[in-house]
Structure 1
């Protein structure tokens, strides 16, 4: 079985590759943009299975299918929430919500393998999916995260989050009860998943919710310092280029 990953976030692509390795599925190629994918499919034999992110750095991945007649089976890896999944279900498409759970990944791969003897094909109505994804009235944002806590899984709602932060190449949730949890994501991805009215990326290292702000102080070099109730891993500084946008955000 030949498999490729199309994902613009390289850390997310490598993480998915490691999870597929555990299922003895070898990933032949990793592509990171619409343009790169179109070029690759134009010059290479198409794989049996594609793990496909929807939002790539240079557009929606559906543009690939508009340019190339791809016969491969598709499993979407998406940060979009329940509203988009209705479109996937209508088209009988497999999908995985980010961060990807290993058990869900194994189930999706098993579903694909079960279809192989039947040689079933899936007709994908990309116009319908794009319509649902672009409807602002249907927009939904991530409301909870599943994290590992020892040998257990813990569900954390966005209401419990005091901030998200990066540290030593990892991304963490700091909760209102003063605990830190590693999350399988990046701040870049979280910024897309969360409601921009409620969460703001103040710097390269911090993404914070409006309700968690305890105090805002004038800081050096035209920057601002945000005080949170319990987070003390590092200072939360609003970078100079984001100060104006931050002020608009807090109203």
Structure 2
């Protein structure tokens, strides 16, 4: 299998390469920009599979497809919100949400292997996806959560949650009163419920509320540590792959 990665963040590209190596897949080429990719595709045989970041340093990766007819299968890697993910699903596109999970990567690769012998082409409507990225459909987000506490049901407002986190296979809401409530869902299950202007997934373990950030501290390996007004459980670390998007989200 001939595989290339198009990704402008070198740490993310190296990590993806290592995860693919664990699946016995070797990456033949690593590209970092729209311009570099267009030039490469014009002068080289196209690979079987492309792992493609959406937002590159010099523009959206869709511009590559505007300039060159790509004959490869594509698996997107993206840090965009759920609107983009809904578009990918509607168009039957494989995608991986950053930071990339090794199990999700394996599933995506297996899907490619399943489709490849059938010669099935995936229809990609880039214009529809770009419209959703620029002008996402307005939707309502959860304003409160109902939580079972013993024999009682307790209602907590989303604005009271400093962070959602996973621990010991459970998902918890840490609130401003210093309590931690077990939820009957997962962090992935919360994805469509949380307002992306207020909540951000900084790692595989944490969604944080921007309104309750007390301090942001430089951490090892170019990462960041988040401190809250109340929550003081696990260290809340912005993963290296999410630092760039986190800084953009803060603004």
Q: Same fold (TM over 0.5)?
A: yes
Within 5 A, what are the aligned runs for 1:15-164? Answer: 15-135=15-135, 140=196, 143-147=200-204, 154-158=205-209, 161-164=213-216
Partner of 1:190: 246
Q: Deviations over 1:96-155 (max 9, x none)?
A: 1111111111111111111112111112111111111111665945633444xxxxxx33
Shift of 1:185: 1.8
Partner of 1:235: none
The 1:127/1:172 distance shift into structure 2, 3 A limit, reads: same
The 1:62/1:109 distance shift into structure 2, 3 A limit, reads: same
The 1:157/1:172 distance shift into structure 2, 3 A limit, reads: same
Shift of 1:40: 0.4
**What secondary structure is seen at the aligned counterpart in 2 of 1:169?**
helix
1:171 counterpart = 2:223: yes
Shift of 1:180: 2.4
The 1:33/1:174 distance shift into structure 2, 3 A limit, reads: same
Unaligned runs of 5+ in 2: 139-194
Distance (Å, rounded) in 1 between the aligned partners of 2:217 and 2:137: 30
Shift of 1:186: 4.6
The 1:12/1:165 distance shift into structure 2, 3 A limit, reads: farther
**Cα RMSD between the aligned structures?**
2.2
Scaled by the length of structure 1, what TM-score is found?
0.68
The 1:162/1:118 distance shift into structure 2, 3 A limit, reads: farther
The 1:44/1:162 distance shift into structure 2, 3 A limit, reads: farther
1:180 counterpart = 2:231: no
Specify which structure has the bigger relative contact order, considering alpha-carbon pairs within 8 angstroms and separated by 6 or more residues. 2
Distance (Å, rounded) in 2 between the aligned partners of 1:155 and 1:21: 27
Unaligned runs of 5+ in 1: 148-153, 201-251
Aligned residue pair count:
189
Shift of 1:69: 0.5
**What secondary structure is seen at the aligned counterpart in 2 of 1:121?**
coil
The 1:165/1:95 distance shift into structure 2, 3 A limit, reads: farther
Q: Deviations over 1:152-174 (max 9, x none)?
A: xx334335654554433241332
